[in-house]
Amino acid sequence: MNGAELLLRTAVNAGIEFCFANAGTTELPLVAAFDSVPGIHPVMALFEGVCTGGADGYGRIKEKPAMALLHLGPGFANGIANLHNARRARTPVINVIGQHTTWHIDADAPLTMDVESLAKTVSAWTRTNRSAENLSGDFADAYAASMSGKIASLIVPNDHLWAEVEGVINAPPPLRYDSLDLHTIEAAADRLRAGKKTALMIGGKALRGQGLLTAGRIRAITGCDLLTETFPGFVERGSGLPDIMRVPYFPEPALALLSQYETIILADVQEPVTFFGYPGIDSYLLKKDQQKLSICSGRQSIVEVLGYLEDILKTIIPFKDWRQNSPQSAKCQLPHGALTAETACQVLAALQPEGAIIVDEGITSAIPYYPLTAGAPPHSVLTIAGGSIGYGMPCAVGAALASPDRLVINLQADGSAMYTIQALWTEAREGLNVKTLICSNRGYNILRVEFQRAGIADPGPKALSLADIDQPRLDWVSISSGMGVPAKSVNTVESLVKELTRTLAEPGPSLIEMVL
Ligand X SMILES: Cc1ncc(C[n+]2csc(CCOP(=O)(O)OP(=O)(O)O)c2C)c(N)n1
Contact footprint for ligand X (CB under 6 A): 81, 363-365, 387-390, 413-416, 441, 443-446
Please identify, using beta-carbon distances, which residue of 2 and 410 lies nearer to ligand X.
410
Q: What is the C-alpha separation between 144 and 492, in angstroms, rounded?
A: 50
Q: What is the C-alpha separation between 121 and 80, in angstroms, rounded?
A: 9
Maximum CA pair distance of the chain? Answer: 72
Contact 124, 93 (CB under 8 A): no
- Which are the contacts of 478, defined by CB distance < 8 A and separation ≥ 6? none
Please identify, using beta-carbon distances, which residue of 72 and 417 lies nearer to ligand X.
417
Identify whether 371 is preceded by a cis peptide bond (ω within 30 of 0).
Answer: no
How would you label 69-98 residue by residue, b for 16+ Cβ within 10 Å and e otherwise?
A: bbbbbebbbbbbbbbbbbbbbbbbbbbbbb
| Minimum separation from the CB atom of position 457 to ligand X (A) | 18
Please identify, using beta-carbon distances, which residue of 240 and 443 lies nearer to ligand X.
443
Q: What is the C-alpha separation between 42 and 32, in angstroms, rounded?
A: 11
Please identify, using beta-carbon distances, which residue of 334 and 447 lies nearer to ligand X.
447
| Minimum separation from the CB atom of position 352 to ligand X (A) | 20
| Minimum separation from the CB atom of position 366 to ligand X (A) | 8
Please identify, using beta-carbon distances, which residue of 266 and 490 lies nearer to ligand X.
490
Residue 156's alpha-carbon distances to 31, 45, 134, 159, 162, in angstroms, are: 13, 20, 10, 9, 11
| Minimum separation from the CB atom of position 450 to ligand X (A) | 9
DSSP secondary structure letters along 345-392: HHHHHHHPPTT-EEEEE-GGGGTTTGGGGTTSSSEEEE--TT--SS-H
Strand partners, 511: 436, 487
Please identify, using beta-carbon distances, which residue of 127 and 448 lies nearer to ligand X.
448
| Minimum separation from the CB atom of position 417 to ligand X (A) | 7
* Cβ-proximal residue to ligand X, closest one: 415
| Minimum separation from the CB atom of position 451 to ligand X (A) | 12
| Minimum separation from the CB atom of position 439 to ligand X (A) | 6
Please identify, using beta-carbon distances, which residue of 183 and 462 lies nearer to ligand X.
462
Please identify, using beta-carbon distances, which residue of 54 and 415 lies nearer to ligand X.
415
Give the amino acid at 451.
F
Contact 152, 14 (CB under 8 A): no
| Minimum separation from the CB atom of position 360 to ligand X (A) | 11
Please identify, using beta-carbon distances, which residue of 82 and 380 lies nearer to ligand X.
82
Burial of 455 (0-12, 13-18, 19+ CB in 10 A): exposed
Please identify, using beta-carbon distances, which residue of 122 and 161 lies nearer to ligand X.
122
- Which are the contacts of 17, defined by CB distance < 8 A and separation ≥ 6? 39, 40, 41, 66
| Minimum separation from the CB atom of position 153 to ligand X (A) | 20
Burial of 298 (0-12, 13-18, 19+ CB in 10 A): middle
| Minimum separation from the CB atom of position 252 to ligand X (A) | 19
Helix (H) or strand (E) holding 128: strand 125-128
Q: What is the C-alpha separation between 179 and 323, in angstroms, rounded?
A: 30
* Nearest alpha-carbon partner for 90 in 343, 407, 389, 383: 383
